[in-house]
């Protein structure tokens, strides 16, 4: 591809003069400037940002790593982060780990080796710790998103999972449910632990028993969960009258499973969950959810990151965003009360 040397030769000037024209600094006469610009256009010249960031030591690129690009929660986060990045003159590029630690590690290496200016990071879980430490050891500006990691001190924007979970479960209790099951994410993820905490707390506050056999753990992206657990719940005498799914994807999977067993929601069992479904909610608003301000997650995370890029020495900050309860058709009082 064309370089400043090619252009310099054609324009009968030195490469440095071309560089000056490109960056619009230093003194270049209008005549040579025009001549150089014309040749650049004719040759479809594009500056090589590899070479440029090699000498400038910065790329003006920020990356966002999410764990599930098909999850509307994360894509909405992405939109927020993108808008905030563009407003500040940064380009945003995305990576998707698919809840895989291996992919996460590879992306971390890619980001480090690309010398991006900063990373917005939704970690896979607690085992992401070495990856985060690797970023920090290399002094890479970093902001955690949605999930915290024990033992890692870093800026973070997270949701109030415990509070949201408690609100959901208390709603169910108010509706008369006493046997509430939980389809949770992996306990290696902070949000799953917090949601379990909120679930337990709501039960205890209302003097309801906490039955561990009513709690199961899947991965947040639903792969590899034990489908039989739900089946076994339905076979019990004291079958739960409501299920709390810890995120939107788990709620969908649960719903599918219930349908395949001819269990109707909400007639036979109520279902509530965390996170909306993006625009799809409009089709037929159905699930009662604790909704998180996804777009704001992205915007605020990006702002925090850009401040950290400007000064990586400041102490770590943590932002906890509230969730709001949206009551819809999927949760109703249990049969014996209606």
Partner DNA sequence: TGGCAATATCATATATCGTGGTCATTCGTT
Partner DNA sequence: AACGAATGACCACGATATATGATATTGCCA
Contacting positions for DNA (CB under 7 A): 1, 3-5, 12-17, 19-20, 22-23, 25-33, 47-48, 51-52, 54-57
Among 12, 14, 23, 86, binds a second copy (CB under 8 A): 86
Shortest separation between residue 61's beta carbon and DNA, angstroms: 15
Q: Is 293 in the site for a second copy (CB under 8 A)?
A: no
Query: Could you tell me which of 245, 238, 246 has the C-alpha nearest to residue 211?
Result: 238
Dihedral, 119, 125, 131, 132 alpha carbons, nearest 10: 50
Q: Kindly write out the interface string for residues 259-278 of this chain, putting x where it contacts a second copy by CB under 8 A and - elsewhere.
A: ------------------xx
Cβ-based nearer residue to a second copy, 278 or 293? 278
In the complex, what is the shortest distance from the CB of residue 211 to a second copy, in angstroms, rounded to a whole number? 28
Closest CA to 172 of 248, 272, 258, 249: 272
**Residue 191 binds to a second copy (criterion: CB under 8 A):** no
- C-beta of 16: minimal distance to DNA in Å? 4
CA-to-CA distance for 78 and 290, rounded, in angstroms?
20
Q: Which residue stretch of 85-93, 181-189, 233-241, 315-323 sits at the interface with a second copy (rule: CB under 8 A)?
A: 85-93
Based on CB atoms, which residue is closest to a second copy, 25 or 113? 113
- Residue 95 partner contact from a second copy, DNA, none using kind-dependent CB cut-offs of 5 to 8 Å: a second copy
Q: Which of residues 130-159 bind a second copy (CB under 8 A)?
A: 134, 137-139
Tokens of 201: 């707390």
Considering beta carbons, is residue 110 or 324 the nearer one to DNA?
110
Q: Are strands 324-326 and 142-145 parallel, antiparallel or unpaired?
A: unpaired
Q: How far is CA 93 from CA 90, 118, 332, in A?
A: 10, 11, 43
Place of tokens 């996460």: 104
Is 205 among the residues that bind a second copy (CB under 8 A)?
A: no
User: Residue for token digits 């024990």?
Assistant: 150
Q: How far is the CB of 128 from a second copy (least distance, A)?
A: 16
13 interacts with, out of a second copy, DNA, none, CB within 5 to 8 A per kind: DNA
Phi (first) and psi of residue 103, to 5 degrees: -60, -40
User: Strand, coil or helix: what is 143?
Assistant: strand
Q: Is 330 exposed, middle or buried (0-12, 13-18, 19+ CB in 10 A)?
A: buried
Q: Is 23 in the site for a second copy (CB under 8 A)?
A: no
The token duo for 220 is 């947040």
Q: Which does 99 bind (CB under 5 to 8 A by kind): DNA, a second copy, none?
A: none
Q: Which is nearer to DNA, 22 or 252 (CB)?
A: 22
Residue 94 touches which member of a second copy, DNA, none, C-beta under 5-8 Å by kind: a second copy
Contacts of 38 by beta carbon, 8 Å cutoff, 6+ apart: none
Q: What residues contact 199, with CB distance under 8 A and at least 6 apart?
A: 165, 166, 169, 180, 182, 215, 244
Quick one: what does residue 315 bind among DNA, a second copy, none, with the CB cut-off 5 to 8 Å set by partner type? none
- In terms of Cα–Cα distance, which of 112, 266, 307 is closest to 177? 266
Residue with tokens 């900050």: 317
Contact partner, 107, from DNA, a second copy, none, Cβ < 5-8 Å per class: a second copy
Q: How far apart are CA 37 and CA 31, in angstroms?
A: 10
Residue 2 CA to residue 48 CA, distance in Å, equals: 9
Task: Return residues touching a second copy (CB under 8 A).
Answer: 1, 44, 46-54, 59, 61, 63, 69-70, 72, 75-76, 78-79, 82, 86, 91, 93-96, 98, 103, 106-107, 109-110, 112-115, 134, 137-139, 248-249, 252, 255-256, 277-284, 286-287
């Amino acid at each position: 591809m064309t370089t400043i040397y090619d252009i310099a030769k054609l324009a009968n000037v030195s490469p440095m003069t071309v560089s000056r024209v490109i960056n619009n600094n230093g003194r270049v006469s209008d005549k040579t400037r025009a001549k150089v610009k014309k040749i650049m256009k004719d040759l479809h010249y594009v500056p090589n940002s590899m070479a440029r960031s090699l000498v400038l030591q910065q790329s003006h690129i920020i990356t966002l790593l999410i764990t599930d690009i098909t999850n509307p929660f994360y894509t909405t986060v992405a939109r927020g982060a993108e808008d905030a990045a563009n407003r500040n003159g940064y380009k945003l590029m995305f990576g998707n780990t698919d809840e895989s630690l291996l992919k996460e590690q590879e992306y971390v290496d890619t980001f480090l080796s690309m010398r991006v200016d900063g990373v917005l990071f939704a970690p896979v879980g607690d085992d992401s710790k070495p990856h985060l430490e690797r970023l920090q050891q290399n002094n890479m500006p970093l902001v955690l998103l949605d999930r915290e990691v024990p033992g890692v001190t870093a800026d973070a924007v997270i949701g109030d999972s415990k509070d949201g979970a408690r609100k959901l479960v208390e709603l169910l209790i108010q509706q008369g449910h006493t046997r509430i099951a939980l389809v949770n994410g992996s306990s290696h993820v902070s949000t799953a632990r917090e949601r379990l905490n909120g679930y337990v707390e709501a039960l205890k506050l209302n003097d309801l028993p906490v039955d561990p056999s009513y709690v199961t753990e899947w991965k947040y992206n639903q792969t590899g969960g034990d489908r039989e657990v739900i089946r076994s719940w339905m076979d019990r005498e004291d079958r739960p009258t409501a299920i709390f799914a810890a995120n939107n994807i788990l709620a969908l999977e649960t719903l599918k499973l219930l349908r395949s067993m001819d269990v109707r929601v909400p007639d036979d069992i109520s279902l509530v969950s965390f996170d909306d479904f993006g625009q799809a909610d409009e089709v037929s608003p159905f699930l009662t959810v604790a909704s998180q301000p996804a777009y704001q997650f992205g915007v605020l995370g990006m702002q925090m990151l850009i401040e950290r890029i400007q000064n990586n020495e400041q102490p770590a900050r943590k932002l906890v965003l509230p969730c709001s309860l949206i009551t819809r058709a999927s949760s109703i009082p249990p049969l014996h009360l209606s």
